[in-house]
Amino acid sequence: MAAKLMPAGQVGRSVQRLESRAKVTGAAEYVHNLHLPGMLHGKIHRSTRPHARIVRIDTARAQALPGVHRIITIDDVRAVIPNPYYGPAFHDQPILADGKVRFAGEPVAVALAEDRHVAEEAAALIEVDYEELPAVYDEVEATKSSAIVHEVLKPAGTFPDLKHLDGRRDTNIALDFHLVRGDADQGFAASDHVFEHVFRTQQTMHTPLEPFVSAADASADRITIHTASQGPSFVRIEIARLLGWPENRVRVKVPYLGGGFGAKLYIKLEALVAALSLIVRRPVKISLTMEEQFFTITKHPATVRIKSGVTKDGRILARRAEVWWNGGAYADVGPRVTQKSGFTAAGPYDIEHVLLDSYAVYTNRPPAGALRGFGVPQLAWAYESHTDLIARALGQSPLAFRRRNILRDGRVQATGTVMHDTPIDAVLDRLNERMGLERAYDHGSGSLRRGRGIAIGLKASIAPTTSVAMVNLYGDGTCGVYCGTVDMGQGSDTVMAQIAAEVLNLEAERVSVIHPDTDVTPYDMGTLGSRSTYHMGNAVRIAAEDARAKIAALAAELGLPPGSNAPLADLFRRKYGMQAGNIVGFGTCIGDYVPPDHDTGQSPKVTPYWMVGGAGAEVEIDTETGRFRILRLVNVADVGAPVNPRLVETQLSGGAIMQLGFTVSEAMLYRDGQLTNGSLADYKIPGFFDLPAEMENLVVDGAETSGPFGAKGVGETATFAVSPAIANAIDDAVGVRITELPITAEAIYRALRVKAGDPMGEDGR
Amino acid sequence: MSTAPRALRFTLNGAPAVAQAAPHQTLLEVLREQFNLVGARESCGQGLCGCCTVLVDGEPISSCLLLAWFADGKRIETVEGRPPDGALDPVQESFIETGAFQCGFCTPGFIVMARRLLERQPDPSDDDIRHYLSGNLCRCAAYPEILAAVKLAARRGRSA
């Protein structure tokens, strides 16, 4: 991969992960390993009903079990947190079920014991009587259903654009977002052809291998929370709000994470362990099982209805999309997904007339939040499948059709924001070059058919967000970077060290990165949405520049000539007479942003930067069984200028393989509202044999003008386009269109039978 | 049936060890809680992910499923077991050089398996490696890099 080497040679170099040794020896620190003296283990009793009123909770048998410390319900929680509802967008989620359960698997009560086996046994002895309520599971049906998940909407006060929803009653639509550009009706009327399709995606789960885990240690006026969280600053603010305490009495510490992928954001177990520790005045730890993760946070299933008006020579004049996001029983960050990704629902295309409606919908399923792409993979599944269908219907090559319609720098995206540093054209060209789309291709013969497909997704960085960093130079001249970015495997520690080292002319390997501890590290909005390299990277760069200026000032104060490169340790020694002192630099990055207009979704600056992810897939299909193999997967990304080329490549590779799981095998399955496959035995994440036979991960030359050393984010980019590229390749191979994820051999076989005029019945004949 | 803990004796990473375990406790719990060996981890809890893999009498085993009593008298080896001097072995070095991990949670399980594979088969094919490691899951999906790491370690082992 091409990398621009900077003068100091720290940025653009494939520095090995700083924590490499700790990870290969097993010594790396995770909350999973944490044991606090006097600690109790909590085990959650979960709802067995998808939607029900709680008539009675009987804890007597559980409480009587030898070794049980205490059984806790919402009534106990209220004694320490009078209004026990939390959430980043809506304060709709109770710390434990409060008179009602809204999905099967919802936490109802907690058993505490010194021995976690005792806690587990006790949790199973808690008895709950329910009065069942009608339930709704489908996101489209829920918009019209008489089954209401929340009687009244409770938006958090923090977002001015949600205020209008306050107190809205008897609806499952938590948020509706609209975007209007031009006049879609006029655009359709002027079109030669109009195409309309509906696409759906399934519910999946992040499946970090370190399951959710949090511990709290409370005293009368202080609380420390150790948690596997991607957002320690948010946790502190939200816990402080719940307790009615100032922020400086809440401390949140985060070591390494065993995977996050968007699951470990906002509040998950933190409010619960905080309440438990305050109630019993002992440290409390809760470690979820793999199964319980499915009841904690998931990826939104979505239904997308998309319609385009096109001229006969292949120009898209108008596009209308309606998107329903199945947010499950609690909003989590779903309303943000609805809006922040909703405005890209028309895809990476230059379209004069755009009309978008995006709805966050409550249902009686486990909650959905952010998962590596923040909604873009669901949208790209729809708009890139749709775009391919249009090209094929017009008899044009999908490549040529896209070339004609893609957004280019200087043109205006559907929000009204002018595109910059967003090389969609270069990503498309590179895909073409690697896939050889314009060369003759053998589609195979007999029952083995081959095909190729491409797709491109576009994502806006979430805005507005802020990162603050501190660079501390110690008495011996060594450097510590203090930042709230969580290294959950993406390699942020290493990248931040490289950026500080570049500015300060140090070796990246010798910089240490201090892990998030809200008593020590400054504010950061969260490790999410591919925002850290840009936002925290900029903050670290500015902090290092501030420190560098202070070093120069110290040298001048000591009478050294300008440009003198006396070692910092010597400067400190001259100043203090011994190895002592600090130089501390500060940096803050606030991404540029103008909020979109409430009615039209228009904004002159809807995001600080855009990210482009393209995929090319080649598949082989056995037409007698529908079985398919992915022969080749090419991932092409725009990441600006890579800070660490190898880490960039592994993010692309890892993201694409994860999305491959969401494309071909992963799906949460339900019967009567009950999850039936909440284990790795039945929910299939990719293993060694699920990889494409060949895979390439490439970046296009680029630089984000406002990014640190030209960099932008990369964590999600390779997820955008994988699913539609595969569906498009299947269409190319056998002429059938799969519109619903996951793509299975059965779905392909059924589609082939329909195409052959011999549809298969439900009985499989 | 008694649920009282019982004393167990086994060899742990080459040294004699004594532990106390109740009949329902797993080897994984004993290793983590009584010996602070935290390289093996519980993830799926069903023996499907490989995060808890250790060697028992030389054979890879899911320590989250093995009741500790069955380890009595056995030879147990964890990721921490070698090399004894705190240096890194060729498998660990290869994992670092090829960038074969991201979050690192599954890494010890992969390393234990890769060491065992290379002992049995010093020159494995790509497919041998995939087969041998197919019981280990990596959600960060560092599979291409893990394959490269095992091949690199094999090359080094053969030339050593």
Distance separating alpha carbons of residues A110 and B160, to the nearest angstrom = 55
Distance separating alpha carbons of residues A284 and A35, to the nearest angstrom = 10
A258 lies within 8 A of chain B by CB: yes
Distance separating alpha carbons of residues A318 and A189, to the nearest angstrom = 9
Is residue A216 within 8 Å of residue A273, measured between CB atoms?
yes
Kindly indicate the confidence band of residue A516, based on its pLDDT and cuts at 50, 70 and 90: very high
Residue B2: the pLDDT is: 66
Q: What is the pTM of this model?
A: 0.97
pLDDT-flagged residues of chain B (< 70): 1-2, 160
Give every CB contact of residue A315 below 8 A, 6+ residues apart in sequence: A404, A405
For all residues of chain A together, what is the average pLDDT? 96
Strand A316-326 with A302-310, pairing: antiparallel
Short-list B52, B140, B151, CA closest to A491: B140
Please report residues of B whose CB lies closer than 8 A to that of A489: 101-104, 140
Q: Closest Cα of chain B to A466: distance in Å?
A: 25
User: What tokens does A343 get?
Assistant: 């405005």
Concatenated DSSP letters of A575-631? HHSSS---EEEEEEEE----PPPTTT---S-S-S-EEEEEEEEEEEEETTT--EEEE
Please report residues of B whose CB lies closer than 8 A to that of A23: 101, 104, 107
CA dihedral A333, A337, A339, A345 (to 10 degrees): -170
Residue A3: the pLDDT is: 39
Q: How many CB pairs below 8 Å do chains A and B form together?
A: 149
Residue A114 has pLDDT above 70, yes or no: yes
pLDDT over 70 percentage in chain A: 99
DSSP β-bridge partners for residue A404: none
Three-state DSSP state, A185: helix
Distance separating alpha carbons of residues A240 and A226, to the nearest angstrom = 15
- Test A680 with B46 for CB contact under 8 angstroms: yes
Strand A284-287 with A250-253, pairing: unpaired
B105 lies within 8 A of chain A by CB: yes
From the list B48, B104, B107, the residue facing A681 with the nearest CB is B48
User: What tokens does B54 get?
Assistant: 């250790």
For A637-672, write each residue's pLDDT tens digit: 999 999 999 999 999 999 999 999 999 999 999 999
Structural domains in chain B plus CATH codes: 6-81 (3.10.20.30), 90-159 (1.10.150.120)
* Residue A25, phi then psi, degrees to nearest 5: -95, -5
Please report residues of B whose CB lies closer than 8 A to that of A653: 141-142, 144-145
Residues of A forming the active site:
716
Q: Closest Cα of chain A to B96: distance in Å?
A: 6
From the list A14, A256, A691, the residue facing B103 with the nearest CB is A256
- Test A259 with B103 for CB contact under 8 angstroms: yes
Is residue B18 within 8 Å of residue B71, measured between CB atoms?
no
Kindly indicate the confidence band of residue A8, based on its pLDDT and cuts at 50, 70 and 90: low
Residue B83: the pLDDT is: 80
Cβ burial of A637 (10 Å; 0-12, 13-18, 19+) is buried
* CA dihedral sign of residues A488, A489, A490, A492: positive
A522 lies within 8 A of chain B by CB: no
Residue A27 has pLDDT above 70, yes or no: yes
ipTM: 0.98
B residues 8-37 lying closer than 8 A (beta carbon) to A: 24-25, 32-33, 37
A27 lies within 8 A of chain B by CB: yes
With residues binned 3-state (H G I as helix, E B as strand, rest as coil), the percentages for chain A, rounded to 5, are 30, 25, 45
Residue A5: the pLDDT is: 41
Distance separating alpha carbons of residues A71 and A110, to the nearest angstrom = 6
For A588-608, write each residue's pLDDT tens digit: 999 999 999 999 999 999 999
Mean pLDDT of A413-429: 97
For A301-349, write each residue's pLDDT tens digit: 999 999 999 999 999 999 999 999 999 999 999 999 999 888 999 999 9
Is residue A358 within 8 Å of residue A702, measured between CB atoms?
no
For A422-451, write each residue's pLDDT tens digit: 999 999 999 999 999 999 999 999 999 999
Helix axes B90-98, B107-120, angle to 10 degrees: 130
Residue A157 has pLDDT above 80, yes or no: no
A residues 525-554 lying closer than 8 A (beta carbon) to B: none
The three-state DSSP-derived secondary structure of A615-672 is EEEEEEEECCCCCEEEEEEEEEEECECCCCHHHHHHHHHHHHHHHHHHHHCCCCCEEC
Distance separating alpha carbons of residues A585 and A546, to the nearest angstrom = 5
Residue B137: the pLDDT is: 98
* Residue A214, phi then psi, degrees to nearest 5: -145, 150
Query: For chain A, how far is it from start to end, CA to CA, in angstroms?
Result: 51
Kindly indicate the confidence band of residue A763, based on its pLDDT and cuts at 50, 70 and 90: confident
Distance separating alpha carbons of residues A325 and A756, to the nearest angstrom = 34
Residue pointed to by tokens 């997308």:
A304
Task: Please give the helix or strand (H or E) that residue A393 lies within, else none.
Answer: helix A376-393
Q: Closest Cα of chain B to A363: distance in Å?
A: 27
Distance separating alpha carbons of residues A619 and A443, to the nearest angstrom = 10
The amino acid occupying position A173 is I
From the list A16, A33, A680, the residue facing B38 with the nearest CB is A33
Kindly indicate the confidence band of residue A6, based on its pLDDT and cuts at 50, 70 and 90: very low
Residue pointed to by tokens 């829920």:
A142
Mean pLDDT of A681-702: 97
- Give the mutation candidate from B24, B25, B44 for the A interface (greatest A CB count, under 10 A): B44
User: What tokens does A359 get?
Assistant: 């709805």
Residue A2: the pLDDT is: 38
From the list A20, A26, A257, the residue facing B103 with the nearest CB is A257
Is residue A730 within 8 Å of residue A620, measured between CB atoms?
no
Kindly indicate the confidence band of residue A4, based on its pLDDT and cuts at 50, 70 and 90: very low
Structural domains in chain A plus CATH codes: 20-29+465-590 (3.30.365.10), 34-135+206-293 (3.90.1170.50), 298-462+597-755 (3.30.365.10)
Mean pLDDT of A400-411: 98
